[in-house]
């Protein structure tokens, strides 16, 4: 088991169970997460007695993923990690004027099957553990020598299909003795697992929720996102309204712009009607094309017109800044390249 799987409460329970001082949990968290003294071996935790360090080494592992590839472009780095079972996942580091944001993976592969998504082209192998998600941040901080200030759980996988591990991941990275990343700087993205959205409304952390929408009506959404056959837009929107009522947190709707598919004027107007009165904003995303999928990016003028229609109808909207045009930018693309070899 990875030491990074444990929240500080679970680590406290562990030390009490082995008849050790419970404050060791705080000490060890500091050794694991403080960037200026981050350890790679339990033997380095010098203020914990030797016998306890030896016990920790028997009970836990401390490194379970490794960086195998880094692709770099202006203000962006894309990482391919190898896990202990030889599987691969990705993370993307983006440098913004407000800080350094890391988009992490939550699963090896994905079962949601969105037609435009490279990640969904390869089925889910397994969930990532809490520790494997935490280590993506640790490894990137160490490689880049940068502090990660924002985390987006929007890489390979559907986060709400790995719900319990995601929640513990948030507890660890948000903790002041952990990575100390502010709750409002953490975003969880889902393609629309309605029961988990309702459950997440009760999660006691002020993290952000993003919905991968990508279509303004059920017919089109079912064509490109199989999850819509299980949870139609009516159910999804109702769940979001419950979430908003309980949390008073604005929701983001992600909308990938696919040429000739979901980018027409009629689609923009439908989107206006769908989101009217909902405390949200829309993030229009220029599509990252891949050789394995037939979808193409909407033309810049088309995206601009779509944006204008939303704006004129009082929908808060942005066009996502593009990163990594010269690298394997699409989610899951770097992993697919590795697996296709």
Enzyme catalytic residues: 90, 331
Residue 192 DSSP one-character state: -
What span, in angstroms and rounded, lies between the C-alpha atoms of 103 and 35?
Answer: 19
Nearest in space to 164 (alpha carbons), one of 33, 7, 15, 11: 7
Q: Which residues contact 176 (CB under 8 A, 6 or more apart)?
A: none
Distance of CA 5 to the CA centre of its chain: 17
* Beta carbons of 101 and 149 less than 8 angstroms apart: yes
Distance of alpha carbon 209 from alpha carbon 200, whole angstroms: 9
Cα(75)–Cα(81) distance, rounded to whole angstroms?
20
CA distances from 185 to 65, 152, 182 (A): 24, 8, 5
Phi, psi for residue 4 in degrees, rounded to 5: -75, -5
Element (H, E) at 234: helix 233-247
């Amino acid at each position: 088991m990875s030491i990074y799987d444990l929240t500080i409460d679970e680590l406290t329970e562990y030390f009490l169970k082995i008849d050790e001082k419970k404050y060791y949990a705080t000490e060890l968290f500091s050794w694991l997460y403080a960037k200026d003294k981050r350890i790679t071996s339990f033997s380095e935790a010098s203020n914990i007695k030797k016998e306890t360090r030896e016990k920790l080494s028997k009970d836990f592992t401390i490194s379970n993923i490794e960086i195998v590839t880094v692709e770099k472009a202006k203000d962006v780095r894309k990482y391919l990690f190898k896990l202990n079972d030889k599987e691969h996942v990705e993370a993307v580091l983006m440098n913004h004027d407000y800080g350094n944001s890391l988009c992490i993976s939550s699963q090896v592969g994905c079962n949601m099957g969105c037609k435009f998504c490279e990640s969904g082209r390869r089925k889910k192998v397994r969930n990532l553990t809490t520790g494997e998600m935490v280590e993506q941040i640790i490894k990137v901080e160490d490689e880049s020598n940068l502090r990660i200030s924002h985390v987006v759980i929007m890489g390979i996988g559907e986060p709400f299909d790995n719900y319990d591990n995601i929640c513990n991941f948030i507890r660890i990275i948000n903790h002041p003795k952990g990575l100390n990343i502010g709750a409002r700087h953490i975003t969880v993205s889902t393609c629309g697992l309605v029961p988990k959205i309702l459950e997440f409304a009760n999660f006691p952390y002020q993290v952000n929720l993003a919905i991968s929408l990508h279509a303004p009506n059920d017919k089109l959404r079912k064509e490109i996102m199989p999850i819509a056959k299980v949870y139609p837009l009516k159910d999804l929107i109702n769940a979001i309204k419950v979430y908003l009522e309980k949390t008073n947190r604005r929701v983001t709707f992600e909308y990938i712009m696919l040429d000739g598919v979901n980018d027409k004027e009629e689609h923009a107007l439908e989107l206006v009607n769908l989101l009217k009165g909902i405390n949200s904003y829309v993030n229009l995303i220029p599509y990252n094309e891949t050789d394995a999928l037939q979808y193409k990016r909407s033309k810049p003028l088309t995206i601009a017109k779509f944006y204008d229609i939303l704006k004129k109808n009082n929908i808060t909207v942005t066009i996502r800044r593009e990163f990594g045009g010269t690298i394997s930018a699409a989610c899951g693309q770097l992993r697919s390249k590795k697996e296709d070899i």
